[in-house]
Structure formats: C-alpha cells, structure tokens
Amino acid sequence: MKRTVQLAIASAVVLSVLTACSTAAAPEGTEQDPDAPITVWVDATRNDSAVALAEAQPELNATVESVDNTQGAISSRIALATRAGEGVPDVVFLSSPDEIATLLANPVNYPLALTGQVDDAVLDGFAAGSVDRCTYEGVAYCLPNDIAQTVLYYNKTLFDQFGYEIPTTFDDFLALGETVAAENPGYSLGTINSRYGLDALYGSSGCQYNHATSATEVIINVETEACTRVNDVVGPLVANGTLSTLDPFDPVFTPIVTEGRLLAFIAPSWMGEYGIKPNYATEGDYAVAAMPKWAGADTNLSGAVGGGIWLVSATSKNQAAAIAFATAMATDPAIAGAGATYPADSASAEAWLGTVASDPWYAEDPSSVLKDAAGKVSTTLGYVRYQTQALDAYNATIGSEAGADIDAALLAFGEQVTAAATSAGYTVIAQ
Amino acid sequence: MTNSNSGLRTKRPRSPGWGFIAPYAVLLIAFGITPALFGIVTAFVVTPVFGDSYISLTENFRAVLTDYRFTIAAGNVLLYLAIWLPALIVVVFTISLVIDTKKTRFASFTRFVSYIPGAVTGSAAALLWLFMFSPAVSPVGPFLSNFTGSNGIIVSDGSLPIILATMGVAAGAGGWIVLLVGALTAIPRELIEAAKIDGANVWSTIWHVKLPMVRNYLAFILIVSVAAGFQVFVEPQVLGAGAQGQVSSTWSINQIVYAYATGESNYGRASALSIVLLAVCVLIAVIVLRKTRFYSIGDE
C-alpha cells in the first residue's frame, strides 16, 4: 500500500514536470536588434560560398552551419529547435523546397513573410513562376535559389553514331526507346526513380498530385490524360529496360553513366554539372535539348526536381541582416552564378550561363535551352506537406510495377496520395 | 508470487538489492518511464495544421490507426516476424543442442563463431548487410544475381522481410546460443541418464526432456525478439537510405512514428502510435509470460 502511495506521488511529480515542459512556449522573438548575430543553415554544397559571404560581410555577424539536407531533416531540426525555444536558425537553405509547406504550418510556423520586407525589384528579378511556388495568399515566403527545370540531356556523339533524331515529342521519345531496346540494348534513357519520374515526367505533363492552390487545398486527380499519357510512355520503356527504376546515383546505375551508356536522360538542369559530369568527364559528348512535348499539350513544359529556396525566420532578432544574407546568397551573380545549379535570379542566371556556354564538356552551348525551360516549369507542381509520402507512394506503385500493370499502379498511387494529403490537413479537390 | 515468498522477502535486508538496481533505475526513469509518460500526455494533444491545439481522447489514435500506411507497415512487420521468429528459434535451438551434445574442443569455437556476427549491431550492421545484398559488391554476388529484380538490385519493399530475417538470425542467434547452451548444460545429467535407461533415444531425449527443460528460455527469447521485431527501425531505415527509392520511408510501424515526429512535426500522432506499439508489445509479453509460467521457474 505504502509503495502504491509512493508511486502515485512520484507519478504526480513527473507529470507536473512534463506539463510544465510542454507548456513552455517559445519566446516571441520579433523584437529587433540590429546588432544581433545571425545563424545560417546551409547544405554542404553551399557551405563554402556561405562562409565566404559571412567573411566578406562581417557586419552581418553571421555564423554558418552546414546541416544534413536529406528530405525532412532540416524541417524536423527546426521543429525541435522551435519546441526547445532556442537554436532556431535565422536563415535556412532548403534543398527540398517542399519542406516550406511543413515549416509554414503548426507547430513550427517558421518562415517570415518576405513581401514588403524584400525589395520588389529583388522578387521581380527571379525567373517567372519561381516565387509563385512559395507564395501563399499573395505573400511570398521564400527567395528561390535555383531552378531545377527539367531538360533532355543526350549524348550527341552516340546519337550521331546511331543515326537517331532528337525527340521533340514524347511519341518520338517512346519510339526512340523502342528502337534503342531493339538495336542497342544496354543503352539507357535515364531513370524514373522517385522524383526523377514523378516530378520530372508526370510533373511536366501537368499530372495533378501536389497541385496546391493554398496551404490547405490541393488538387489531386490522376485519372486525367495528363497522367495517363505519361503511363503510355513510361510503361513500355520501363518494361523494355531503356528506362531504369533505380536512383541515378545508385551504385548499380552509375556504371551506365561512367561507361558511356547513358544515351539520354530527362533530368533537372543540375544533373549535367552534378550528376553526369563527375561520372563522365569526356568533353564534347553531352548536349542539352528542349523538353519533348506531351501528346495533346499546348507547349513543352518542364518538370522540376528540387530547386532550393532560402527562408528567413519569423522569430529572428535581426531580420534585416538575415534578409540581407539570404538575398545576397540568392541574387549575387558572384555567388548564385557560380554554383552547380541554375540560378533562379535572372541576373545570376546570365552569369551562370556565361560559364556553362564556354564549357568544353558540352557538345553544344546549352544556355538557350536551359534559359527557355527556366520559365516553363509546370504550375501544377506545388510544395506540399506530404511530398515524402507522395514519393513513397509513387515508388511503391508505379516505380515497383516495372511497367507491368502501370495503369492500376497509377490509380493506387492516386488513392495513397489522396489519403496522404487528407492526413496532412489538406482539403482534396478532384477537378 | 505466493505468500510464503513475500514473507521471506520482507525479512531480508533490502539495501544491497536496491544498491544494485539504483543506477539502472535512474536511467530507466530518465530515458524510459519519463518519455513514456510524456508520450502518453502528448498523445492526447491534437495539433491541427493551422489554429490552436486542443485535447482529444481519440482523435490522434483514430488518425494513426486509419492511416493508409499503418496497414501496409503492419503487414510488412508481421511478415518479417513470421519468417524471422521461427527461423531464429530453430537455428538457436539446433546449434545449441549440437554444441551441448557433441562436447568436443570445437564446441567453444563454434559458440564463439556464431556469436561474432552479433558484435556488429544497429546501423553499422545494416550498412554491412546493404553491401552483402548489393550484387555488384557482395562477396557472394554471383549467387545473389539469381534473386535480383528487373532493375538489377535486391533490396525492395517486398524482399525486405526476408533480408531482415536473415540479418536478424545472423546477428541475433549467437547471443541466444550462448544463453541456451548454458541452460542445456544446467540440465542435471541424472535426468538424461534416467531417460536413456528408460529407453529414450536421442530424439525423444531432446523432445521430451531437453526441450521442456529450456522452454522458458525459448519463451524469453521469443518475448525479447517479438518486442524488438515489432519496433524494427534502424535496418529498414538504413537499407532504404542506401537503396534510394526502393524501400518506403514508412516500411515499418516505428518508421511511421519517426515520420510523424520528424517530417510531419506531428508529435501528437507520433506519441499515439508509440503508445499503441507499446501496448501491443506489453500485451504479447503478458500472454507469453502467462502461457509459459516464466516466473514460476523456482516452483518446478
């Protein structure tokens, strides 16, 4: 009996401590201090340029930290810091931009509304549509860093050698895949793994699975022609092996790149600099062609795979310095124009394209194709809180079907993604 | 359990026992009981995407149990347990019997060798096995090529139960073999000899004498393994990160908890599902304990 009482008292003490912990709210840190130091979280790729900026502008008093940028890692770290009430970064770079949707909602409420805080000229300087993707109810919450517009990478030397034409429509692309499988088996047209299939192909076709119209509403409908026409291309080409279901960086796939068997690849604009070039150094082979047009589509829209964004904390004590840092990273041609990714800021993009245009690795100057595609990312691609689930659902259905029953897989994908959206607090509209 | 037992216990001085468990008790309270209590409180706090949080007794639980991923993950974990547990028990019992029966100088060596894979655990083991199951780099690559999917690799949602079961037996069996050999050695020799005199052959000695004598140890192995198996997390997480896009990030139930807590920042649902998981494991433990009378070992 005595022990029961002791246990009860102990439990009561523990519970009261817990309650105290859970109700300790984060301080309202909006009081501004122009001398307050700022903390900046970036991924490993942007660490050096961020450190250089912090050193070049000591008045910003910025500390740069390189953090794990795998999908969901940064938003969960910010959520924990917010809950702890300390250690919330003033500026953060998201290489998975969809995480903004999570950070914008409870319990984090991280990003600062930038419209009005940042010069309109800065916001207007970004590629068409790039700021729109992180604009909610007319207010922009991010500075786009880079555009991951998809284009068609192809090995010009091999195309000439085999006598193939560059596909301008996806009907051509399908025909090319069937020819390659018959004439040159072992050569690849890339992969449809995860976002390289979902966001690049289904996304470019306007298939609606994450078409967010607000922070709480999303259009999902996978039974439209915009989705089924992708199936008609992906299904046969996965089945005949010209499209792989592996990640492009998978150790089983990279030999295809290193051994020069990657004939073509519909991939984001960073794939050349970041994915193909490091594994295939031969100059003058790869070129970039415009995205093929889907059957029945008005124009050749691009998908997007990634495309980093900069956010500023709403609880930053020095918003002016934080905004200045993020703005410089996103729009200074000397910084944004020197990275591996296509800058969202138009002036920086010119600088970037200037470097790429004279790069002997490319068989032809890719700048006009990349520039054209930058403004043509499909507006049906949105940033949603269930992006991880959407990719999981895609891999478990369309990705794992290996082209066998891809139409049933698409319907199953639609069901899962609708459930995921509902669970994430969206009202799903099936238009 | 009985009155005479508890009467005996009160007469003994308590202090040495408490001294021994005190360090453990501190850790248990700090990292076991307190988080569990915190989780129970959090499980009833619903945080909508926008707007204020509120208390609800059922909402988080209903949300997690009706999550489409829950059924899939539960199926994955159950299939894994269905393959792993019988294999583990059979392997552990068989090797232990052989070591116990053939008391050659190789016995301790066999025991040592079977224990070695268990020295590499957790994420390191998962990484090691990721290489073992990658046909391109695996030492048994040519053998594995019979099992690859159409994309040229082995790791996928569907193959994971068998992969995890293989990992689980290889890494987990050794420790249990050491335990079970000890238990088998402790069986009085007279008992075995009596059985032999009564005409029992090797098989009936195993089946009617040795197995009943170590049944409680097997039950203990089962309880610990079920609890660990239900909460499988590190292995699918690491294998999934290694084979991008081949394994769902919510393959196991515990990974759904992780997804709620991190990617979705929904601590209420994460806690609710953790508690469901805890309740299931406690329930299984209670059933197995009752059925095997684990704590009645002294009465036999």
- What's chain B's length in residues? 300
| pLDDT computed for residue B141 by the predictor | 75
Q: B67, A215: Cβ pair inside 8 Å? A: no
Of B47, B67, B151, the CB nearest to A107: B47
Secondary structure E strands in A241-380: 264-268, 286-289, 309-312
Of A83, A395, A423, the CB nearest to B63: A423
Q: Sorting pLDDT into bands at 50, 70 and 90, what band is A145?
A: very high
Parallel, antiparallel, or unpaired: how do β-strands A427-429 and A217-221 relate?
Answer: parallel
Q: B263, A395: Cβ pair inside 8 Å? A: no
Residues A108-121, mean pLDDT to the nearest whole number: 93
B183: pLDDT strictly greater than 70: yes
d(CA B220, CA B226): 10
| pLDDT computed for residue A216 by the predictor | 93
* Residue scoring higher pLDDT (B19 or B55): B55
A6: pLDDT strictly greater than 90: no
Q: A76, B262: Cβ pair inside 8 Å? A: yes
B107: pLDDT strictly greater than 90: no
Q: Sorting pLDDT into bands at 50, 70 and 90, what band is B13?
A: low
A110: pLDDT strictly greater than 90: yes
Contacts 24+ apart (CB under 8 A), A277-281: A277/A361, A279/A254, A281/A361
Of B41, B67, B151, the CB nearest to A22: B41
A383: pLDDT strictly greater than 70: yes
Rounded to the nearest 10 degrees, how much is the dihedral formed by the CA atoms of A301, A303, A309, A311? Answer: 90
Of A253, A191, A96, whose CA–CA distance to A395 is shortest?
Answer: A191
| pLDDT computed for residue B296 by the predictor | 59
Q: B49, A106: Cβ pair inside 8 Å? A: yes
Beta-bridge partners for A40: A64, A91
pLDDT digits (tens, 9 = 90+) for B112-160: 887 887 777 777 888 888 888 887 778 877 787 777 777 778 888 888 9
| pLDDT computed for residue B12 by the predictor | 57
A5: pLDDT strictly greater than 60: no
Contact yes or no for B80/B230 (Cβ under 8 A)? no
- Where is average pLDDT lowest: A53-67, B31-45, B205-219? B205-219
Q: Sorting pLDDT into bands at 50, 70 and 90, what band is A23?
A: very low
| pLDDT computed for residue A58 by the predictor | 94
Secondary structure E strands in chain B: 45-46, 54-55
Residues A97-125, mean pLDDT to the nearest whole number: 93
Percent of chain B with pLDDT over 90: 35
Contact yes or no for A181/A223 (Cβ under 8 A)? no
A301: pLDDT strictly greater than 50: yes
Q: Which residues in chain B have Cβ-Cβ distances shorter than 8 Å to A22?
A: 38, 41-42, 45
d(CA B131, CA B127): 7
Q: Tokens in use for A63? A: 């500390």
A201: pLDDT strictly greater than 90: yes
Q: Which residues in chain B have Cβ-Cβ distances shorter than 8 Å to A241?
A: 150
Of B53, B134, B250, the CB nearest to A392: B250
B273: pLDDT strictly greater than 80: yes
Beta-bridge partners for A91: A40, A312
Q: Tokens in use for B90? A: 């059979």
Residue of B nearest to A386 (CA): B264
pLDDT digits (tens, 9 = 90+) for B62-94: 999 999 999 999 999 999 999 999 999 999 999
- Where is average pLDDT lowest: A28-32, A345-349, B261-265? A28-32
* Cβ–Cβ contact A355 with B under 8 A: no
- Where is average pLDDT lowest: A134-143, A324-333, A343-352, B202-211? B202-211
Q: B33, A22: Cβ pair inside 8 Å? A: no
pLDDT digits (tens, 9 = 90+) for A244-270: 999 999 888 999 999 999 999 999 999
Q: Which residues in chain A have Cβ-Cβ distances shorter than 8 Å to B134?
A: 251-252
Q: Which residues in chain A have Cβ-Cβ distances shorter than 8 Å to B41?
A: 15, 18-19, 22
pLDDT digits (tens, 9 = 90+) for A307-344: 999 999 999 999 999 999 999 999 999 999 988 899 99
A38: pLDDT strictly greater than 50: yes
Q: Which residues in chain A have Cβ-Cβ distances shorter than 8 Å to B72?
A: 396
d(CA A379, CA A18): 45
Of B148, B196, B160, whose CA–CA distance to B75 is shortest?
Answer: B160
Mean of all residue pLDDT scores within chain B: 85
Residues A161-169, mean pLDDT to the nearest whole number: 97
* Residue scoring higher pLDDT (B281 or B270): B270
* Cβ–Cβ contact A19 with B under 8 A: yes
A25: pLDDT strictly greater than 60: no
Within 368-397 of A, beta carbons closer than 8 Å to B belong to: 385, 388-389, 391-392, 395-396
Q: A14, B265: Cβ pair inside 8 Å? A: no
Within 54-93 of A, beta carbons closer than 8 Å to B belong to: 70-73, 75-76, 79, 83
Beta-bridge partners for A208: A221
Within 402-421 of A, beta carbons closer than 8 Å to B belong to: 402, 415-416, 419-420
Q: For the whole model, what pTM was predicted?
A: 0.87
| pLDDT computed for residue B285 by the predictor | 79
Q: Sorting pLDDT into bands at 50, 70 and 90, what band is B294?
A: low
Q: Sorting pLDDT into bands at 50, 70 and 90, what band is A353?
A: very high
Cβ burial, residue A31 (10 Å; 0-12/13-18/19+): exposed
Mean of all residue pLDDT scores within chain A: 90
B181 CA: distance to closest CA in chain A (Å):
39
**Angle at the Cα of B139 from the Cα atoms of A280 and B79, rounded to 5 degrees:** 100
Q: What are phi and psi of A24, to 5 degrees?
A: -70, 105
Q: A251, B259: Cβ pair inside 8 Å? A: no
Question: What is the distance between the terminal CA atoms of chain A, rounded to a whole angstrom?
Answer: 64
Contact yes or no for A292/A182 (Cβ under 8 A)? no
A118: pLDDT strictly greater than 90: yes
Q: Which residues in chain A have Cβ-Cβ distances shorter than 8 Å to B49?
A: 105-106, 215-216, 385, 424-425
d(CA B200, CA B253): 47
Q: A400, B51: Cβ pair inside 8 Å? A: no
CB contacts < 8 A (A, B): 126
Residues A81-92, mean pLDDT to the nearest whole number: 93
A28 CA: distance to closest CA in chain B (Å):
16
d(CA B300, CA B296): 7
| pLDDT computed for residue B300 by the predictor | 43
Neighbours of B218 (CB within 10 A): 18
| pLDDT computed for residue A403 by the predictor | 65
Q: A107, B53: Cβ pair inside 8 Å? A: yes
Q: Sorting pLDDT into bands at 50, 70 and 90, what band is A21?
A: very low
d(CA A101, CA A135): 11
Instruction: For residue A283, give Cα distances in angstroms to A155, A174, A253, A261, A368.
Output: 11, 28, 21, 15, 20
| pLDDT computed for residue A20 by the predictor | 40
Of B42, B150, B261, the CB nearest to A402: B150
With a threshold of 0.95, tell me whether the complex ipTM lies above it.
no
Residues A100-104, mean pLDDT to the nearest whole number: 94
Q: Which of A395, A397, A417, A426 to mutate to test the interface with B (most CBs of B within 10 A)?
A: A395
